[in-house]
Structure 1
Amino acid sequence: MRSEIRTVREIITPQLVIEGAGVLLLRAFAPSRANPYDPFLLFDHFAFNDPREGPLRGFPTHPHRGIETVTYMLEGQVRHRDSLGNLGFIGPGDVQWMTSGRGILHEEMPTRSPQGRVLGFQLWVNLPAALKMGPPRYQDVPAAAIPEVAYGGARLRLVAGAVNGVSGPVRAIAAQPVYLDVSLPAGQVFEWATDPEHTLLVYLFEGKGHFGADAQGQAVQVAAPCMLVYDAGERVRITTADGARFMLISGRPFREPIYPYGPFVMTTREEIEQTLRDLRNGTFVQP
């Protein structure tokens, strides 16, 4: 029986927003109580590539609770420091998958590449209610530890998930994610089998292509930058005449209520109120 090809439910044009100490970002979506992209909460595309932007501004010390933040760098680097005593750099091709759990304070400060560029992404992934108050942890993955796999006509950097017997280095995540950086040369076809129940997102950040069809059977042809949200199904099929590069992101939805408030995503308003009390009382970060 032929596998069902997923259709495109929504095309999101990312919008410019300002976060941190005045950082200009392209944001595809942000946390909301409707939680339409469960288990994914936020996706930001950051690029500082114009000298007129002046000195880089970053993200001074700020808290997180109840989520995971995933930083993936392509150019430039981000200096990271946190309340657990960690200090380091996320450089080109590196990934940091941070599970904030019950609470962490951290800062992220970008610096340009020798060519004057910064390019990367940040994804927020929800935690199920049972894990929101667990201990914080990190999976810091250097570029050399991320396998690059030829798959059909595409080249994949495999951060999380598996293909052809090769697994990405990020493991033991509740959402069971797939997180791929896909480079698809001109004239090639990319077809990927998906868990039919998983949420599937594709963020196109270079080039253009045919990313399937909509519910009416009309071809979906898009150009970067944009986020595509897919309906349920077993496969996704993408073609390009001119070349394209995109992030493919999938994960298991938790189907639990959420209550987001700034950098916190909990299950109820009462849990958010407790989070704010913990910040005021100095009990937010535990040894």
Structure 2
Amino acid sequence: MKIIRTNKAHATQDGAGVNISRIAGFDGRSLDPFLMIDELKSDNKSDFMAGFPAHPHRGIETFTYIRKGGFEHQDQMGNKKAIRAGDVQWMSTGRGVIHSEMPLADAEQGMHGFQIWLNMPAKDKMRPPRYQDTTEKKVPVLQNDTGIELRALAGTWQLEQQSATSSINELAGNGAIADVILPTNTETTLDISAHSKAIVYIHSGSIADTEYVETYQFEVDPKAPLTLKAGERGLGVLVLVGEPIREKIAHMGPFVMNTQEELHQAVRDYQMGRFGDIV
């Protein structure tokens, strides 16, 4: 594993006061084609029960993965879904989406999940929105004889001699995402050489013989094998790969476009009700 750069998530709030850890890359370089990694991890319901009331997006894709607890999603396209532990949800927002994400009642036992933003290329930012989830076609899971597990959240992945492809496989920038869980003192190597960008985010435990623990994120050279070795508390990581879009980014809150004028138009369209309403 060849590490290019490292970062550590910072604590912040979003929605109606939800406490999260965030890695942001709106510079268009550090995470490209990804823009942001938000992790919500708490057993204290006051950290998350206020949820994310109705809000808009344009020009991005949102990728939500729940490890514990759950949210109810609603949007102006008519989707109303309970996204629970093990589920993934993907929205390619295009020209505009309004949605809400509110905790389910059974999330009182705690919540652990992610929302990841991907940048959409300029040619796709104003296309109609799309929605997909895995509530019916579940995430494929690969496991070896040492108990190492790979959940293919998006795209195609391989664990040793096994491979699996998620039903969600059209992310911007040819993005693919996996959740890899290793028991204590186990080790595995992933071949990610088919991609130009690779990011690892630690959500549980630590990497053996390093300082890298929970909420550390690092970019690695995808041409080198990605070797993961769990520490004494085991290891859980998200692995995110894709192809950089390399386009200028103009960012304002929930909107990501290419120019300031496009941002101003997004605000005007939202204020004039052109995004629709949740019904």
Determine if the TM-score, normalized by the shorter chain, exceeds 0.5: yes
Structure-1 residue corresponding to 2:95: 102
Map of 1:26 onto structure 2: 21
Aligned-residue CA RMSD (Å)? 2.2
CA displacement at 1:161 relative to structure 2? 2.5
Matched residue of 1:190: which SS? strand
Partner in structure 1 of residue 190 of structure 2: 192
Aligned-partner Cα distance in 1 for 2:173–2:242:
5
List per-residue Cα deviations over 1:211-254 (Å, max 9, x = no partner): xxxxxxxx744121311222452421111242211111111111
Question: Match for residue 5 of structure 2?
Answer: 10
Go from structure 1 to structure 2 and tell me whether the alpha carbon gap of 1:62 and 1:168 turns closer, same or farther (over 3 Å shift).
same
- How far apart, in 2, do the equivalents of 1:156 and 1:39 lie? 22
Which residue is 1:70 aligned to?
63
The alpha carbon displacement at 1:285 in A equals 4.2
Q: Does 1:183 align with 2:176?
A: no
Q: CA deviation at 1:55?
A: 7.6
Query: What is the Cα deviation at residue 166 of structure 1?
Result: 2.2
The reply on whether 1:260 has 2:258 as its aligned counterpart is no
Counting only pairs closer than 5 Å after superposition, residues 30-109 of structure 1 correspond to structure 2 as 30-50=24-44, 53=46, 56-109=49-102
C-alpha distance in 1 between matches for 2:173 and 2:184: 33
- Residue 115 of structure 1 and its aligned partner are, at CA, apart by 6.3
1:101-149 per-position Cα deviation (integer Å, ceiling 9, x unaligned): 1001011111354662111011001111110111101111127621111
Distance 1:112 1:49, change over 3 A: farther
CA 197–109 in structure 1, closer or farther in 2 if over 3 Å, else same: same
SS of match in other structure, 1:121? strand
Paired residues, number: 271
Kindly provide the amino acid, as one letter, of the partner of residue 8 in structure 2: T
Bigger shift: 144-153 or 127-136?
144-153
Superposition misfits of 4+ residues, deviation over 6 angstroms: none
Partner of 1:277: helix, strand, or coil? Answer: helix
Distance across 1 between alignment mates of 2:194 and 2:137: 31
**Identity percentage over the alignment?**
34
- How far the C-alpha of 1:274 sits from its partner, in A, is 1.1
Query: Unaligned regions of 5+ residues in structure 1, if any?
Result: 1-5, 211-218
Structure 2 contact 82–104 (Cα < 8 Å) conserved? no
Tell me whether 11-20 or 31-40 shows the greater mean CA deviation. Answer: 31-40
Q: Secondary structure at the match of 1:279?
A: helix
8 Å Cα contact 1:203/1:226 also seen in 2: yes
- Paired residue for 1:230? 220
CA distance in 1 between counterparts of 2:91 and 2:109 reads 27
1:133-148 mapped onto 2 (5 Å cutoff)? 133-142=126-135, 145-148=138-141
Measured after TM superposition, the shift of residue 168 of structure 1 is 1.5
Normalization by structure 1: what TM-score?
A: 0.87
Contact 1:31 1:260 in 2 (8 A): no
2:13 aligned counterpart, secondary structure: strand
Q: Is the 8 A contact 1:35 1:258 kept in 2?
A: no
